[in-house]
Amino acid sequence: MGAAARKGAWRKWPRRKSRKGVRRTFPAAPQPRRLGSGGAMSSFGGRMREYPRLSIDRFDRENLRARAYFLSHCHKDHMKGLRAPSLKRRLACSLKVRLYCSPVTKELLLTNPRYKFWENHIVSIEVETPTQISLVDEASGEKEDLVVTLLPAGHCPGSVMFLFQGESGTVLYTGDFRLAKGEVARMELLHSGSRVKDIQSVYLDTTFCDPKYYQIPSREECMKGILELVQSWITLSPYHVVWLNCKAAYGYEYLFTNLSEELGVKDDEMFRGNRLPCGVISQNGKRLHIISVKPSTMWFGERTRKTNVIVRTGESSYRACFSFHSSYSEIQDFLSYIRPVNVYPNVIPVGVTEDKLMEILKPLCTSYNKNNELKYKPLGALKRTKPSEITDTDGGSDDLFDTELIPIRYKIPKLLPETTASENRPLLDNHQDDSDKTSYRATSMPAPLKVDFIECEESNGEDDDEEEELEKDMVLDELLPPSAESATVLPNPGLVCSEPTCKRNEDLEVPKWDAYFKRHVEDTDASEHEDYAPAPTDSSEPQSPTLFSDNEDFSDSTHISSQNSSQSTHISEQGSQGWDSQADTVLISPQERKIFESSPLKKGAERAMLYTSCFPAGENQTDMQSCKALAHSAPSTNSIKSERQGRAQEASAAAAAPTLTPSVQAESAPERSKEGSSGLLKPEDQLESQSSSDFEIPSTPETEVPKPDQLCSLYKKLAAGESLH
DNA sequence: GCGATCAGCT
DNA sequence: CACAGCTGATCGC
């Protein structure tokens, strides 16, 4: 949910005087908003009407009485109350209450010492693994079982949606999510047989559920634009650098890892320092030429015509499109596919009334007659992602009712993959255009590029100030960029084009408007590159604007990385799981294992340096070494270190990173001192993903944590690049 | 001293 | 633009 939306709503209350007023006025329990309630609260209150004993992403007030907690991702606005003394006290005297989240989220949470007290109460659940949990009332012993399935949400590392199945029906809580059009149709676990499940309610991320956000460029498009801008700048000279001005703690990893891969910057170098090495002066005394690139959400309303994912806002400042939330049209696609009986918005966007929102959402829900009986529900058909499964998508004999919970079968827990990366690779190839994959590894940018950027007609004050500051910095020669924000400095990696193969992926077409709406996801390879499917649309059609193609240079001179958001999301979640999860918590027999092979970094460009200051200072910030770990679990990539490994990584990296700034060292020192050394996971070894095409339910999870000695051994193997088996 | 809340800022 | 989240002020426990 958006902070702005939240703030906007809260501001409806008189300041100061309202504080107690808020407490009195709101029901004690932050209930899911009821339609038409007119409540000012714009964020999800934590509870779903179907399963009120669960609390999700809220941990205060009535949520203190929940029997189980769920955390969809590690952003602050979803963690309200999570470290409050009241909840802490409850944990201290409870044997049963648990916090369920993805393994990545668990790692992120426990990286912060302030949440350490959760350690023995967190149960990580593997993504796409239906898991039975028991909700026990510790006073009465009353028990309620339900099955929860985590689905990749594509919002930030570790982010998931929660699918709950129990006596009160099937409900889906999306958390914050960004799924490209068609991705929901490929989520097997939202289907029974070949058709979408009957879902009672969806608690939906409606951050951009406003027609003015009709279209937001895909992750890949944004990445492509940013890459092209960065590439075009840093190839001008070794002293042309880029400052990536990021804000949120988690979510930009995709950007960093893709840039590092595309530009041939080694991860170690990327995180060697978190400041410009010496202000605007390079180490040999020459002045740096810095441009600021600020990722921010840009959208294209229905009537928007040509535009670009990069907007120049000043002499040396740019905005680059980058969104963590689904656009209006993506929300429509998502909801219209699921067609739940009810939908509850988690966010009321600024400028949109709840009534207006429901006018948008309700038509996408299942129709009911006046007796509240199911009248008609178009059943979505699962879009198989593997050719072998394409057949018989409509030939199922399922009736209209869910039967996936019957019978329940149990399987032996399996923590780690049994097959090697190489053995699994062919499976991946079924999901992904291999030529694309190889090309992105081998491709270098022809440099320098001619890139034309749109001049921003209206430069707001913020940007003006920013630019002015930057230019002052360059004059003063000694100032640093704001330390609290992400700074990525890219001294010209002159070798990025030294690769013998400068293959450009000719298959990647400029995405067209229609590609988002007319493409058939059944297409195997094409479906994996939906955003790039050529479309015959007249780009001048106001209702079908062509995006990102103001000039040909911009649209075709850059290749993109191999993963579209669909794959990257899945890969990220799946591939990042498993290293630190409880063996008896996540039990599913992989019917298949998809393997994502992260591109080895270009060796020809190892000289290139990329300094990154990650993320605002704060209690839950990761230091740059943690960023490094997170980078591998970004939507495009697939791994994350365990907490312990991450700390060990910090230790070793700190020793080898003379440019590490004192502030960062201070922040990470307490963590670092606790653990032994270990290495970063090799991408090839981080590959583990799984999906299930059946619905076998594992047993009730417990909270057993992998033993330190086991982890230590595992991490040593990983650090050494050894096989885990 | 700490938490909750809000303004302001980026 | 919006998002995520920071700092600082204020108030209350």
For chain A, domains (ranges, CATH) are 41-212 (3.60.15.10), 215-324 (3.40.50)
Is the pLDDT at A575 greater than 90? The verdict is no
Using the CA of A248, which nucleotide's C1' is the nearest one? C4
Using the CA of A78, which nucleotide's C1' is the nearest one? C4
Separation in Å: C3 C1' and A2 CA: 6
Q: What is the 3-state secondary structure (H, E, C) of A620-649?
A: CCCCHHHHHHHHCCCCCCCCCCCHHHHHHH
Are the C-beta atoms of residues A241 and A346 closer than 8 Å to each other?
Answer: no
- Model confidence at A376, in pLDDT bands (50, 70, 90)? low
Distances, alpha carbon A70 to alpha carbons A100, A105, A537, in Å: 5, 11, 44
Helix (H, G, I), strand (E, B) or coil at A460: coil
Bases of chain B below 7 A from a protein C-beta are 2-7, 9-10
Separation in Å: B5 C1' and A3 CA: 14
Is the pLDDT at A211 greater than 50? The verdict is yes
Using the CA of A85, which nucleotide's C1' is the nearest one? B3
A333, exposed or middle or buried, with CB in 10 Å at 0-12, 13-18, 19+? buried
Strand B lies under 7 A from the Cβ of residue A247: yes
Using the CA of A61, which nucleotide's C1' is the nearest one? B4
State the nearest residue by CA to the C1' of B3. A84
Is the pLDDT at A184 greater than 50? The verdict is yes
State the nearest residue by CA to the C1' of B9. A462
pTM above 0.75, yes or no: no
- Model confidence at A341, in pLDDT bands (50, 70, 90)? very high
- Is the peptide bond prior to A448 cis by the omega test (within 30 degrees of 0)? yes
State the nearest residue by CA to the C1' of C11. A16
Could you read off the pLDDT of A669-691 as tens digits, one per residue?
A: 333 333 332 222 222 233 222 22
Q: State the pLDDT at residue A173.
A: 98
Using the CA of A616, which nucleotide's C1' is the nearest one? C6
Residue A582 CA to its chain's centroid (Å): 23
Separation in Å: B7 C1' and A9 CA: 14
Could you read off the pLDDT of A533-544 as tens digits, one per residue?
A: 333 333 333 332
Separation in Å: B8 C1' and A33 CA: 29
- What's the average model confidence in pLDDT over A693-702? 36
- Model confidence at A368, in pLDDT bands (50, 70, 90)? low
Strand B lies under 7 A from the Cβ of residue A84: yes
DSSP for A536-557 reads ---TT-TTSPPPS-SSHHHHHS
Alpha-carbon distance of A647 to A557, in angstroms, equals 40
Footprint of strand C on the protein (CB under 7 A): A 1-5, 7, 16, 74-77, 155, 176, 207-208, 247-251, 294, 296-299, 311, 313, 319, 324-325, 347, 349-351, 456, 460, 462, 484, 616-621
Alpha-carbon distance of A149 to A116, in angstroms, equals 25
- Model confidence at A593, in pLDDT bands (50, 70, 90)? very low
Strand B lies under 7 A from the Cβ of residue A462: yes
Helix (H, G, I), strand (E, B) or coil at A400: coil
Using the CA of A7, which nucleotide's C1' is the nearest one? B6
Q: What is the DSSP letter of A69?
A: E
Using the CA of A19, which nucleotide's C1' is the nearest one? B5
Positive or negative torsion for Cα A491, A231, A621, A632: negative
- Model confidence at A110, in pLDDT bands (50, 70, 90)? very high
Bases of chain C below 7 A from a protein C-beta are 1-7, 11
Using the CA of A296, which nucleotide's C1' is the nearest one? C2
The vertex-A408 CA angle with A407 and A412, nearest 5°, equals 140
Strand B lies under 7 A from the Cβ of residue A13: yes
Is the pLDDT at A191 greater than 70? The verdict is yes
Q: What is the DSSP letter of A419?
A: S
Separation in Å: C12 C1' and A15 CA: 16
Separation in Å: C8 C1' and A301 CA: 37
Contacts of A152 (CB under 8 A, 6+ apart): A127, A128, A159, A160, A161, A569, A570, A572, A573, A574
Could you read off the pLDDT of A140-174 as tens digits, one per residue?
A: 999 999 999 999 999 999 999 999 999 999 999 99
> Strand B contacts (CB < 7 A) among A residues 25-64?
60
Are the C-beta atoms of residues A73 and A548 closer than 8 Å to each other?
Answer: no
Instruction: Count CA within 13 A, CB hemisphere, residue A705.
Output: 13
Residue A607 CA to its chain's centroid (Å): 30
Strand B lies under 7 A from the Cβ of residue A85: yes
Using the CA of A299, which nucleotide's C1' is the nearest one? C1
Could you read off the pLDDT of A123-133 as tens digits, one per residue?
A: 999 999 999 99
Using the CA of A11, which nucleotide's C1' is the nearest one? B6
Separation in Å: C13 C1' and A19 CA: 15
